[in-house]
Amino acid sequence: MPGEVQLTVQTNKTTFPATGGQQLVYVLIEAMPTGAVANVQMPLNFGLVLDHSGSMSGAKLANLKEAAKLAVDRMGPQDLVSIVIFDDKVKVIGPNQPVTNAADLKRQIERIRDGGGTEMSRGMRKGLEELRKGLGPGRVSRMLLLTDGETFGDEDVCRRLAAEAGGEAIPITALGLGEDWNEDLLDCIAQASGGTSDFIPEDRPDIILNTFERHVLAAQATVVQNAEMLLRLVPGVMPRAVWRVTPLIAKLGHRALSDRDVQVTLGNMDREQGQSVLIEMLVPPRQPGTYRIAQAEVSYDVATTGLVGEKVKTDIILSFTADPAQAMQTNPYVLNIVEKVTAHKLQTRALDEAAVGNIAGATQKLRAAATRLLGLGEEELAQTALEEAQRMERGEGLSARGTKKLRYETRKLTQKLVD
């Protein structure tokens, strides 16, 4: 039946000025599962792929094992799980199976010991082999990959395996523990597979427990799959950028299907947050009045009901006025999201500038990001941005911890809007 997903549209202003020039408009589109579909819990096909190299000794390994056992406890007999461990070798300690004997699975986890180097592609390949045993239209498949080190010589193989996973609808949650891992590689793995990446600080290995639990619960909350957004634009309207803003901030690539149609991949939606996107649009001059400038159409699948390619549409309508007072009225909710996306954008550009040796550009953007973050009440992140700017000005370069914290924590700024 129709109506499994509801779309709502808001803009940064309630009324826009009727000017003689082009202007930038922010359009927030929120897609939320509704009705009976929002109460369904999809069975999982969940793969844990865990680094147990020598650097994982002590508290890191102890917390990893507790987190893996907690993940098993969050699943039931309707779910499938597999557990793969790797260092410079690979071992399947839990072949793909229903979670009907959690105690045995947890005994296998408890036997994990640290040792060896890091060769991540071995773990990824074996993890995919196990997950493929449980693929099916009625299940949510997900790989949770955790490492605390860099893999050497097999980065291209990791990227290829991530692309294979994405092609088989197996998003990878790539988690880096500590500071000595390659964030560019983990981000690429996540992006290529349609998943996410995250950072767990070295001094807080206990966060592994919360992180594992959160990702299992998010997978269980998935109710809509393979969502795509199609924007049909009226002549003269141009999309400048498209950002996912919930559940995490990320710049989305958009494909021009024609001079007026743009497609954006959304992927899966969970019943708690759905998906929200912020579109930066350049709109040509308009006389006072109300105009439809675009239509958004979201197509999606709901495996539990057998729906494939169901569609929901909404118009994007703007009002223009010649009254300066009316044109001053803004939407605080949308502007708050714009500020958070801007803070994330600034630190991303700062890290890019630092990578090519533009110290002045990087420090300027880090300080601008700090100002935005302070305005959002994010004092700790603002302090980190300032400290990294000061390090660069002293000629010390960026710290691994600071850059990872900025890179990953600013992605989560919008989560606080829905907590």
Whether 383 has a pLDDT exceeding 70, the answer reads yes
Give tens-digit pLDDT for 267-285. 889 888 899 999 999 999 9
- With cut-offs at 50, 70 and 90, classify the pLDDT of residue 419: very low
CA 172 to chain centre: 11
Lowest-pLDDT choice from 265-279, 322-336, 371-385? 265-279
pLDDT at position 20: 81
**ω into residue 284 within 30 of 0, thus cis?**
no
Q: What is the average pLDDT across 225-250?
A: 93
Whether 39 has a pLDDT exceeding 90, the answer reads no
Q: What is the average pLDDT across 395-401?
A: 92
pLDDT at position 152: 86
8 A C-beta contact, residue 88 and residue 26: no
Whether 1 has a pLDDT exceeding 60, the answer reads no
Rounded Cα distance between 419 and 417, Å, is 6
pLDDT at position 31: 95
How much is the mean pLDDT over the chain? Answer: 92
Give tens-digit pLDDT for 116-171. 899 999 999 999 999 999 998 889 999 999 999 889 889 999 999 999 999 999 99
The strand pair at 261-270 and 222-233 is best described as antiparallel
8 A C-beta contact, residue 18 and residue 321: yes
Residue 25 tokens read as 């408009």
pLDDT at position 418: 47
Q: For the chain, what percent of residues have pLDDT higher than 70? A: 97
- With cut-offs at 50, 70 and 90, classify the pLDDT of residue 417: low
8 A C-beta contact, residue 350 and residue 373: no
Give tens-digit pLDDT for 201-214. 877 777 889 999 99
pLDDT at position 190: 95
> What is the pTM (predicted TM-score) of this model?
0.90
Whether 217 has a pLDDT exceeding 80, the answer reads yes
Rounded Cα distance between 179 and 238, Å, is 40
pLDDT at position 416: 59
Whether 304 has a pLDDT exceeding 50, the answer reads yes
pLDDT at position 2: 61
Q: For the chain, what percent of residues have pLDDT higher than 90? A: 77
pLDDT at position 307: 80
pLDDT at position 412: 94
Lowest-pLDDT choice from 135-144, 251-260, 364-373, 391-400? 251-260
Whether 415 has a pLDDT exceeding 90, the answer reads no
Q: State the amino acid at position 212 in one-letter form.
A: F
